[in-house]
Amino acid sequence: MSALWIRHPMAAWTANDQDAGNGIVVENGVITELVASGTYPSQPVDLNWDASEHVLLPGLVNTHHHFYQTLTRACPPALNKKLFPWLQTLYPIWAGLTPDALAAATELAMVELLLSGCTTVADHHYLFPNGLENAIDIQAETATRLGMRATLTRGSMSLSTDDGGLPPPRVVQDEATILEDSERLIRQYHKQDANGLLEVALAPCSPFSVTPDLMRASAELAAQHSVSLHTHLAETRDENDFCLKTFGQRPLDYLDSVGWLHNRTWLAHGIHFNDEEIARLGEAGTGICHCPSSNMVLASGICRINELKAAGTPVGLGVDGSASNDHSNLMQEIRQALLIQRLRYEADEFTHTDALSLATKGSADVLRRDDIGELAVGKRADLALFKLDELRFSGAHDPLAALMLCGASQADAVMIGGEWKVRDRQWLGGDTQALMARHREAARRLFNG
């Protein structure tokens, strides 16, 4: 394979304080050299790519999403509701999800993320109505075809309204089916491809939609196969109240009681933890995915990022589902993280690079991936390059800060494993207009029943 020098970037941020001021060299899908400011590659290169008009970043990493929810953005019956009534409004609509609709939703969400500079995604799919039993297979096929890294979490719901849970009976599965399919997916997809594209994790949806028995069994299965665990936790005060009423425990105590409090677990949201619980999370090394836009839309609260990180907890970033965000743009989510954390901390206590770190090295740590999330020798060549050639950037003096403060939203070029996926702000893998047409029709059919 040819060595490619991505040279002379306007600015380069590595996520690890190393100097790549004069670019990087990529060969065989990995980074082979950081070219420090004022220097040149140590070995001859075959190809050059001029990055003098670009800010060079590691590919962004999204640690929590629900792809299928792109079909119910700005959904009228669900507007202006808190989490529990919001879910109860949408569950009957989502129950009509079909394989074709999920395929369209998955592809559109991935392409939308890709165009925002995101190269690795984690999706939490927990809806398996009749006919959609192979939902994760659909997502695996899409990710492989697009050449995008994905942690596919086999979600589940087993506790319906008939059993004191939140979801209706027609969207839950029995626990034997869930566990059997979970093991099948691990064996079929987890780290089975040569390019490090697909990983699998197990992800019972939430304390209000699965039983403690399923939580324990999922933890045991995950330990057996050394895969990660994922769930929603401590998102709202209503969830705290539910756990106290149903289990006689706060959410973290419940998590601990079912064998989940360890470093193979990451949690979506993680807002309503007290000081003692934050210390326990840090000691266990349990990760947190911050979802600022979703937390604002549903008025859930603000994650205590600085305290969590100080305690030793890995903290990453996620866009969450497109029914509560309502977009799949990880670069915009970095700006949201910066702004919402400024409501909790002083301006010098949470910086623009702190926000950017969440979506790169922080998210890679949450997913337990040491091959992505930063620019360093030996890491996979997953890159995002942004131009500052829009009106919003005119007059900006710090190119890196401008991405967050001026509101960058679309990457000019994106590379995954040494292969260009986006060039000149265009997705190279297909026709976005045709994809949107297929997706809009699927959304119309789903909403109209």
Report the mean per-residue pLDDT for the chain. 96
* pLDDT (tens digit per residue) in 356-365: 999 999 999 9
Arithmetic mean of pLDDT, 187-192: 97
For 60-366, CATH number out of 3.30.70.100, 3.20.20.140, 3.40.710.10, 3.40.50.720 equals 3.20.20.140
What pLDDT score does 208 carry?
A: 85
Residue 84 or residue 223, greater confidence: 223
Overall CATH class of domain 4-58+379-427: mainly beta
What pLDDT score does 219 carry?
A: 98
Pull the structure tokens for residue 260. 């989940």
What pLDDT score does 194 carry?
A: 87
Model confidence at 350, pLDDT cuts 50, 70, 90, reads: very high
Arithmetic mean of pLDDT, 242-267: 96
Would 4-58+379-427 and 60-366 be classified into the same CATH topology?
no
Model confidence at 123, pLDDT cuts 50, 70, 90, reads: very high
What pLDDT score does 323 carry?
A: 80
Residue 142 has pLDDT above 70, yes or no: yes
Residue 344 has pLDDT above 80, yes or no: yes
Residue 286 has pLDDT above 70, yes or no: yes
Global pTM reads 0.97
Q: How many residues does the chain have?
A: 449
**Domain ranges for the chain:** 4-58+379-427, 60-366
**% of the chain with per-residue pLDDT over 90:** 91
Model confidence at 164, pLDDT cuts 50, 70, 90, reads: confident
What pLDDT score does 125 carry?
A: 97
Residue 340 has pLDDT above 70, yes or no: yes
Residue 247 has pLDDT above 70, yes or no: yes
What pLDDT score does 1 carry?
A: 63
**% of the chain with per-residue pLDDT over 70:** 100
Residue 378 has pLDDT above 80, yes or no: yes
What pLDDT score does 56 carry?
A: 98
* pLDDT (tens digit per residue) in 16-70: 999 999 999 999 999 999 999 999 999 999 999 999 999 999 999 999 999 999 9
Arithmetic mean of pLDDT, 265-287: 98
